[in-house]
Amino acid sequence: AQKVTQAQTEISVVEKEDVTLDCVYETRDTTYYLFWYKQPPSGELVFLIRRNSFDEQNEISGRYSWNFQKSTSSFNFTITASQVVDSAVYFCALSAGTSGSARQLTFGSGTQLTVLP
C-alpha cells in the first residue's frame, strides 16, 4: 500500500518570504511517480510537477523548486519569494504499483498555504 504524509496542515508566511512544503511518501515499489497539485480558492486542481523515481535530479521552474530525496522518501516543494497569488492548498501525490504510469494517485491531506501581503 502507498501512503503520502503532508504533516503541515497550514502554513502562513508574509509576502516575499520563502516557504517549503514537506511531503513524505511510503511505497514498496521501486518504480513510482510523485506529483504536486495546487488547489486555489476557486477549487480546481492545477498540475505543477511530476517526478519519476528513476529521475533523481531536482527541478526548478521560476520561483518553484522541488527537492526529491529517495534516501528520506521525501519530495519537498519550495516557493521562493512567495506572492499572495500562491495562497492555495497544495497536494502531494504518489502513483505506484502494478498500475504503472501515473494514474491511480494516492494523495496527501494537503497543506493550506496563506501568503499575507
Partner 1 sequence: NAGVTQTPKFQVLKTGQSMTLQCAQDMNHEYMSWYRQDPGMGLRLIHYSVGAGITDQGEVPNGYNVSRSTTEDFPLRLLSAAPSQTSVYFCASSRSGGRNEKLFFGSGTQLSVL
Report the nearest approach of partner 1 to the CB of residue 56 (Å): 14
Q: Give whichever of 13 and 105 is closer to partner 1, judged by the CB atom.
A: 105
Cβ atoms of residues 26 and 2 within 8 Å: yes
Report the nearest approach of partner 1 to the CB of residue 117 (Å): 26
Q: How far apart are CA 81 and CA 44, in angstroms?
A: 24
Q: How far apart are CA 49 and CA 44, in angstroms?
A: 16
> Binding string, 84-113, against partner 1, x = CB under 8 A?
-------x-x-------xxxxxxxxxx---
Report the nearest approach of partner 1 to the CB of residue 23 (Å): 11
Q: Give the pairing of strands 88-96 and 106-107.
A: antiparallel
